[in-house]
Each structure stands twice: as structure tokens, then as C-alpha cells.
Structure 1
Amino acid sequence: MGAVKTKRMPRAVRERQMLDAAVRIFGRRGYRAASMDEIAELAGVSKPLVYLYLNSKEDLFTACLRREATALTRAVREGVRPDLPADRQLWEGLRAFFAHTAEHPDGWSVLRSQARTHGEPFAAEVAAMREEIVAFVTRLIAVAAREAHRDPDLPEREVAGLAEALVGAAESLAAWANTTPGVTARQAAATLMNFAWSGLGALREGRGWVPPAGEG
């Protein structure tokens, strides 16, 4: 079937259509199985035009990664009001994260599954996004420690480790929530808050878990 002919439109609009189609195909079929023919057909353009705009399949996939990563990090940052208490900031950030991944399941599949299984340079694009989110969560945890007025100087390594664990849990929970009927973004965020914030609260109060004596 030939590409659908449409009227001439601005390059930015046409390119967005191509990226929308590519994210859908990559997210559902995977990078290797996806073809430029089906991406072009879904976008309503010719395959040569896709190559003209985005050079190659690899460049097209990289452009998809960058767009989806930027949208996700922006959604998380914009979802957090800095004037709120630390627990509310974390709650709003998690809710924004789960809402975005639920509303853009193909984009999340591209970021979560596809990029990580096809090596460099794709994995590096996702790693950069993840580092930005981890740094953001690290600051939230540090704020929580300061607000507690009990342990304002948590070791930097411990704060960073907590942020890594929280982001990793959010990624896994989003993958589960997106494939489990009836689970909303709010429910997923509440689940992770119940799992994580109680532990963070105990740490803020100096009641952190300690390994049994005598173990290495």
C-alpha cells in the first residue's frame, strides 16, 4: 500500500508526525522488527521523505529516544511544586511519572525496553535521562533530611543510593502498572509512597535498619 498523500505542511509538524509513528512502531514491534516502510505508511509520508528528514533508522530511533526522554523528565519536573513539603514533592513527582508513562506506553516501552537491549549509543541516551531523574530525586531526599532537623547531614553516598533504589522501583512499577488492568497512576504512586516513604521517614528520625552484629 502506498503512502497517503497529504497537503504540504511545515517541517516541524511533518517531523512530529514521523516521530509519533516511529515511537508507536518501535514501542510495539521493537527496534529490529520495525521497518521504515511501516513507519512511513503510519506517518502518511513516503519512505524517502523519512530518510530525508531523519537520515537513517538509527538516527530516527535516537530522535525518538531524545524526544521521549525530554518529555518524561519535563513532566516529572513540572509536576513538582518546590514550595510543598518534601513528602508532597515526592508524591507529586511520582504521580507525574506514572501518569506520563501510562499516557505514553509506547514511549515508555522505547525508553524502558528497546533502548537498553540494543547497546550504544541508545543505552547512553536513556542513561542520561535516568541520571537527571536520579539527581532530581536525590535533591528531594536531601530536602527531606533537612526538614526533619534530625539528620541533616545524611552521607552523600547513602542519599544517592536511596535515590537510585527509588527510581529503579518506580521504573519496575510503571512497567507492571502499564500491563495490569485497573491500576491508575495515582494508585501506583501511592503504592510506591507506602513502600518508600515510611522507610525514609524512619531514616529521617534516626531509626534506620541496622544489619545484625557480627556480619561482614
Structure 2
Amino acid sequence: MGAVKTKRMPRAVREQQMLDAAVQTFGQRGYMAASMDDIAELAGVSKPLVYLYLNSKDDLFTACIRREAKALTAAVRAGVHPELPADRRLWEGLLAFFTHTARHPDGWSVLHLQARTHGEAFAAEVTAMRTEIVTFVTQLIADAAREAHRDPDLPDKEVAGLAEALVGAAESLATWANATPGVTARQAAATLMNFAWAGLGGLMAGRAWSPPPA
């Protein structure tokens, strides 16, 4: 193991340093394989100091989930400018999402892969983040319907379903893009935008697809 650094710094700064190391370790090795020794060494602190600041491995993992979830939702919201047309707002939101997940692949791994599979409490943290994003996207789609028609004929449940489908597709596509060399955030966003907006555009114009009779 490398020598542990002992340089003094403010607690808040040191804690973020530990969280950075924890996100990298959890994201790359997985929750079960990650050890507090590895995290402490990567952060340049002693293992007792990690326990002093963040209590336990479970508490540290929860803190990582909350920090990464907050950063992702903030990035998506900041990327959308309300004065833009509906298609541009959706595009900017998707681009912000894929840009953030591409820049923070370990954080995305923690949220999308690790937190969902290692306990109900961890999964609940991610569910809360996902619900916030789905609510935001639902509003974007509802706004698009209002812009297309003065009296939109899209039921609330259909709008909610479209938002769920779009967020689910974005999650899967982000994981694929991060694992596929040469795929940029802009390319991933354009792929999903082309897929989603073609269908949404038809709905807004009243060209809904209908299943064949049973």
C-alpha cells in the first residue's frame, strides 16, 4: 500500500475527496468488491478517518448515491431553458443527461448498476432520483402537447407512460454509450431524440398508431 498523506485540509474538502475515491472504487469494482482499505488509500487518508467521517461502508455508499443523484438531476434541470421550443427543451435535457453520464461514468455506474442491486435502501435512493427526472420529463412532454394543440388530446396516463419509456431508454443508452468506444454524448442524445421525437411529433399531429383488432 502507498503512504497515507496527512496534509491538513477542511473537513468538507476532505469528505468530498473521500466520496470521489469511493465513487471511483464502487463504480469500477462494484459494491461487494470495494473495500474501505482501497477507498482510504485512493483518497490518501487512513481507514479510521473514513469511518470517522462517513461511519460505515453502507453509509458511505448511500452518501455516494445521494451526491451523484443530486448532481445528475441538477445537470439535467440546468440544461433546459424554458424559453426554447418544445423540441429544443427535450433535446437540451437529453444532451445534458448524456453529457453528465459520459463525464461521470463511475457515478453513473453507482446509480444505474450498483445501487439498484445491493439492497432495498440503496435502490430507494435511486428511485427517488428517477421519479424526479420522470416528473420533469413528463412536464416537458405535456408542454410539447400544449404547444402543438390548444386543447391537447393526450391522456395524462399516456404522457406519464411516454416519460417513463423515454427515461428508461436514456438510462440504457447511457450505459451502452459509456461502454462503447467512440460514441459521444451528443451522438447518444441525437439517437434518442430522433427515435423519440419522430413518434412524439406524430402524436402531437394526431397521427397515433393503433394496434390491430384483437
Q: Percent identity?
A: 83
Q: Distance in 2 between matches of 1:62 and 1:160?
A: 28
Deviation at 1:150, TM superposition (A): 5.9
Aligned residue number for residue 137 of structure 1: 137
Q: Is the 8 A contact 1:76 1:97 kept in 2?
A: yes
What's the counterpart of residue 181 of structure 2? 181
SS at match of 1:27: helix
Aligned-residue Cα RMSD (Å) equals 1.0
Matches within 5 A, 1:34-53: 34-53=34-53
Instruction: Report 1:1-216 matches (<5 A).
Output: 1=1, 3-149=3-149, 152-213=152-213, 215=214
What is the one-letter code of the residue matched to 2:35? S
1:7 Cα offset (Å) = 1.5
Once the two structures are TM-superposed, the CA of residue 151 in structure 1 deviates from its matched residue by: 5.1
CA deviation string 1:23-69 (max 9, x = no partner): 00000110011000000000000000000000000000000000000
Q: Which of structure 1's runs of 4+ aligned residues deviate more than 6 A?
A: none
Q: 1:202 to 1:150 in 2, by over 3 A?
A: farther
Identify unmatched segments of 5+ residues in structure 2.
none
- Contact kept, 8 Å, 1:25 with 1:34, in 2: the verdict is yes
Shift of 1:142: 0.1
- Point out the more displaced range, 143-152 or 66-75: 143-152
Q: TM-score, normalised by structure 1?
A: 0.97
Cα distance between partner residues in 2 of 1:91 and 1:177: 17
Q: CA deviation at 1:2?
A: 5.2
Q: Cα distance, 1:6 vs. partner?
A: 3.0
Q: Give the TM-score taking structure 2 as reference length.
A: 0.98
CA offsets 1:68-120 (integer angstroms, 9 cap, x no match): 00000000000000100111000000000000000000000000100011121
- For the Cα contact (< 8 Å) 1:150–1:205, is it kept in 2? no
SS of match in other structure, 1:75: helix
Cα distance in structure 2, aligned partners of 1:57 and 1:122: 12
Structure 1: stretches of 5+ with no match in the other structure: none
